Amino acid sequence: MELKTAIVTGASSGIGLAISKMLSSEGYKVYGIGRIFPEDADFFEKRISLDIRDTDILLKKISEIKKVDLLVNAAGSAYYGLAEFNTADQIKEMCRTDLEAPMILTSALIPKLKDTKGMVINIASVTSTRINTHGAAYGALKAGLRSYGRSLYEEVRKTGIRVVTVCPDLTLGTKLYRNADFTPSEDEGCYLLPEDTSECVRSVINMREGAAVTEVEVRPQFNRIEKKKKD
C-alpha cells in the first residue's frame, strides 16, 4: 500500500514540527518546509530549508512532489504591540507568511489534492475569532486565513477535498512570542503544548470518510500570560 504524502510548512519548530512528527507516526511521508531543522528530526521524508516568502523557490520545490494527500499550513509570524508601532517591514512579513504563502501553496496544490481527495489544514489562531488589542495586524491576518478556509471548503467539497481550520491558543515551545513582551504563563492549565494541537490534527485526519470537521479551537483551561523579564 502506497504511503500518504504530507507537506507541512513551519515544520522546523513548534506546532509544525509536532504535527510533522505525528504524521510520520501515522505512516505519512512528510515533506517539511522550514528554515533551520533540528538535527534529530529524522522522521521527515525530506527537509526543505527555505524562506516561505521566496515564492518562486517554494513553488519549484513543491512541484517536484508528485502526489500530495495533505497540506498543513503551519508557518507563522507575529509582532505584538500597539498598531501604531508596527513597522512596514513587520506588517509585510506577517502578511506574506501568515496569509499570502498559505493561499499560494493551497492554490498550487489543489489539482493534486483533487486526485487524492486530500485535505488542507490551516493552523490559524484564536485571535482569528476575536478583537485583538496589541495584536491587531496578526489577528486580522489569521482571520483572513480562517475566512479563506471556510470559503475554500465550500468551493472544493464536491471534489472530496476537506478543509480544516485549527485555532490554537497560547502555546509554549513555539517561536511565535519571540517578538512579544509576554509569554504564556507556565502555571499548570494556562498553556498549550505543540503536541496538543498535533493530537487535535491526528483526530481530524482519522475521521471517517464522508464526515468533516471544518473548524476547531484548542485552548488551555485558564487564560493567563506573564510579562517577560527584562535583561
Q: Rounded CA gap, 19 and 200, in Å?
A: 9
**DSSP secondary structure string, 57-78?**
HHHHHHHT----SEEEE-----
* Local confidence band at 112 (pLDDT 50, 70, 90 cut-offs): very high
Please tell me the predicted confidence (pLDDT) of residue 36.
94
Q: Which of 28, 31, 138, 148 is catalytic?
A: 138
Question: What angle separates helix 136-156 from helix 88-95, to the nearest 10 degrees?
Answer: 20
Question: Who wins on pLDDT, 180 or 43?
Answer: 43
Specify the CATH architecture of the domain 5-227. 3-Layer(aba) Sandwich (3.40)
Please tell me the predicted confidence (pLDDT) of residue 16.
98
User: Residue 9 forms beta bridges with which residues?
Assistant: 33
Maximum average pLDDT range among 145-149, 208-212, 226-230: 145-149
Please tell me the predicted confidence (pLDDT) of residue 10.
97
Active site residue 80: no
Mean pLDDT value across residues 121-138:
95
Task: Answer whether residue 204 shows pLDDT above 70.
Answer: yes
* Local confidence band at 180 (pLDDT 50, 70, 90 cut-offs): confident
Mean pLDDT value across residues 114-134:
96
Which helix (H) or strand (E) segment is 17 a member of? helix 14-25
